[in-house]
Chain A
C-alpha cells in the first residue's frame, strides 16, 4: 500500500511565503501531484513532479526528492484567494493508480 502524510492545517499571512510538506512511502513510484481544492469545488491541478528537483510555475513551486520520499509545495506572495486545501497525491504501481493524502487546509490571514 501507500502512505502519504501532510499537515492537516496551516495558517499564513497575506504576502508571505508558505511551504506545505508531503512525505510518502510507496513502491513503483511514478510521479507526485499537487492539487488545490476550494471548499465545495473540484480539485484543480497545480503541478506534477516525476524527477528530483524544483518545478516553478508563477507563484507556485513544487519540489521532489524521490530518495527521501519527500515533496513540498511553495506558495509565494500569498493572496487571500489562496486559502484552500492542498492535496498531495502519488501515482504508483502497474496501473498507475493515484493515491491522495488527506490534504492541508491553508488559511491566509490579512
Chain B
C-alpha cells in the first residue's frame, strides 16, 4: 500500500515569501505529525493532529507557522514570511492512532526547504 507522501520534495524560496508544504498520510491513520530537522540538529517536533484537531500548537516555532488538516487526511504546513532559519527538512509522519496508543510512526520522505 501507499506510504506517507509529501510534496514538494524540494523547495527553494526567497526570504519573505510564503510556502506551503503538503503531507498525505497513510489512509486510515488518525494521527499525523510534523517535524523539522535543521542542519546539525535533531528532529524537532512541531505539531500533531488527532483527526482534524491539533491539541497543542506550542511546538510551532513562531506565529509565522500554521498547520491544518482536513478530512482526517491531507495536512498542510504553511510558513509565512520565510526566514533563512526556516531552512530545514520538514518531515511528516502518521500513525494508526495517537501516541498514547504507543503506535509506531510512519514517515514521509520529507520536504527540503531552502530559504535564500
Instruction: Tell me whether A and B are bound partners.
Output: no
- A residues near B, CB below 8 A? none
